[in-house]
């Protein structure tokens, strides 16, 4: 199993550009989430999904869109990049059937918006 994979690993954008961060998991997990991590702020939940076709907003959803057309994939779209979106983005997946609710994280995407 590859676990949770994310692409790209690094990205530089100009203000106003759009892009999609890819996330895929091969563990057949129902739950998938996107977090951003900034110094001193910890991990903050952007959007999450409890299954294919179902998404919901987290703590900091503005400026981001998500969709969940399959169990495996959960892309995060930046509509019009802003310098405030410079961050490290982590995708995570988990299964409600696992009693300890372990979140499995991808390796992260480091995004710089100029």
Stretch that binds other proteins, among 16-24, 61-69, 78-86, 95-103 (CB under 8 A): 95-103
Asked if 102 touches other proteins (CB under 8 A), the answer is yes
Closest to other proteins by CB, 41 vs 54, is 41
Q: How many residues bind other proteins (CB under 8 A)?
A: 20
Q: Give the 3-state secondary structure of residue 75.
A: coil
Q: How far apart are alpha carbons 16 and 63 in whole angstroms?
A: 11
22: left (phi over 0), alpha (psi -120 to 50) or beta: beta
Asked if 27 touches other proteins (CB under 8 A), the answer is no
Q: How far apart are alpha carbons 34 and 80 in whole angstroms?
A: 18
User: Site residues (CB under 8 A) for other proteins?
Assistant: 33, 35, 40-45, 48, 58-59, 90, 100-103, 105-108
């Amino acid at each position: 199993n590859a676990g949770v994979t994310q692409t790209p690993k690094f990205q530089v954008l100009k203000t106003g550009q759009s892009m999609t961060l890819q996330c895929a998991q091969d563990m057949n997990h129902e739950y998938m989430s996107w977090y951003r991590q900034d110094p001193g702020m910890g991990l903050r939940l952007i959007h999450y999904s409890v299954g294919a076709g179902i998404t919901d907003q987290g703590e900091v959803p503005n400026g981001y869109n998500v969709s969940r057309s399959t169990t495996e994939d959960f892309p995060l779209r930046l509509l019009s990049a802003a310098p405030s979106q410079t961050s490290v983005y982590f995708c995570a997946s988990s299964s409600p059937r696992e009693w300890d609710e372990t979140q499995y994280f991808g390796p992260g995407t480091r995004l710089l918006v100029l």
